[in-house]
Amino acid sequence: MIERKALIFNIQKYNMYDGPGVRTLVFFKGCPLRCKWCSNPEGQLRQYQVLYKKNSCVNCGACAQVCPAGVHCMTAGNKHEIDEKAECIGCRECEQVCPATALAIAGESKTISELVEIIEEDRPFYEVSGGGVTLGGGEVLMQPEAATSLLMACKQRGINTAMETCGYARPEVIMKVAEYTDLFLFDIKHMDSDKHYELTGVRNEWILNNLICLLENRNNVKIRVPLMRGVNDSEEDIARMIEFLKPYQDYKNFKGIDLLPYHKMGVNKYTQLRWEYPMEGKPDLSDEELARIEGAIRKYDFPVAVIRH
């Protein structure tokens, strides 16, 4: 029998932010949203992609010689170029021969067994800290079969499971993975559907409905709010979110709210992907502004914390 595989783009060990205790974070490739502030743009497309540090390139041509897909080529002036119409097959030959480490491939196919083996390496840390594995992305629910298989395998081994999600999926998909997920880290990006569409490319009705389903099904959920000045930080924005969550405030499975301040850690990846960074202005929030928002939420007796990565 052929074993199911997942297309991932990173595995981060000793993570302390995305779920309880020390965690291994597995990043799945592919996302239905196009958030303007996305810090993992290499996780958006469910395909292999070339990250290219142009300023590090020495134009040696080694990559062009080994690439079987014609992604890398040399101009008449002996300059390295990437053919955006050619499709990377993820062989990583270019990455391996580049003497300047100017190239990296985003995307790696792993079997569920391979992923479980990597996750199992840190079992002692999970047991001491109450940690486990967290699936992130991209968006995990773009690969629901692989995600379900991995979560199931972890649960069978007694490993705590968590999932970061934007919540944009068919209800039956999210409720299936919920059977094997100990905690959902569920994004609320904006309560207004028109604004949500403007910021992410999708409306939020599906997302909010899935959130209600999880809460009412008594699945453990922690809300995560990516915060940006002038985007979703107004008193009205916060009040609408609180009003929406208030019916579930006393549910034991409602685990509070994490505020995630905007950061620019992913900006360089856009350059390496040859993409334009879509977020405009200066959406960074000061400590005083974050304290104001945190205080406004705490005023309603909601558990809330600012998480700085």
Q: Which structural domains are found in the chain, ordered by start?
A: 5-45+108-306 (3.20.20.70), 49-106 (3.30.70.20)
Is there a contact between 86 and 63 (Cβ–Cβ < 8 Å)? no
Q: What integer best gives the mean pLDDT of the chain?
A: 96
Helix or strand run (H / E) with residue 38: none
Q: Is the pLDDT score of 96 beyond 80?
A: yes
Contact 156, 44 (CB under 8 A): no
Q: Is the pLDDT of residue 221 over 70?
A: yes
The CA-based angle 230-232-238, given to 5 degrees, is 125
Checking if the pLDDT of 73 tops 70, the result is yes
Percentage of residues in the chain having pLDDT higher than 70: 99
Phi, psi of 62 (to 5 degrees): -60, -40
| Eight-class DSSP state of 161 | E
Which stretch of 168-177, 186-195, 262-271 has the lowest confidence by average pLDDT? 262-271
Q: Kindly state the average pLDDT of the residues 113-137.
A: 97
Q: Say if residue 1's pLDDT is above 70.
A: no
Compute the distance between CA of residue 277 and CA of residue 279 in angstroms, rounded to an integer: 6
Torsion region of 235: left, alpha or beta (phi above 0 gives left; psi -120 to 50 gives alpha): alpha
CB 110 within 8 A of CB 93: no
H/E stretch holding 182 reads none
Tell me the DSSP string of 87-144. PP----HHHHH-TT--EEEE-EEEEHHHHHHHHHTTHHHHHHHT-EEEEEES-GGGSH
What's the pLDDT at 281? 87
What is this structure's pTM? 0.95
pLDDT at residue 36 tops 80: yes
Band of pLDDT at residue 18, cut at 50, 70 and 90 = very high
Exposed / middle / buried, residue 214 (Cβ in 10 Å: 0-12, 13-18, 19+): buried
Mean pLDDT over residues 80-105, rounded? 97
User: What one-character-per-residue DSSP string does 223-281 give?
Assistant: EEEEE-TTTS-SHHHHHHHHHHHGGGTT-TTEEEEEEEE---TTHHHHHHHT------S
What's the pLDDT tens digit per position in 226-281? 999 999 999 999 999 999 999 999 999 999 999 999 988 889 999 999 999 999 88
Task: Indicate the pLDDT class of residue 3, thresholds 50, 70 and 90.
Answer: confident
C-alpha to C-alpha distance for 43 and 37, rounded to whole angstroms? 13
Straight-line distance from the first to the last Cα atom of the chain, in angstroms, rounded to the nearest whole number: 41
Residue 308 confidence (pLDDT): 82
Residues contacting residue 122 through CB under 8 Å, at least 6 positions apart: 13, 14, 22, 24
Q: What are phi and psi of 12, to 5 degrees?
A: -110, 120
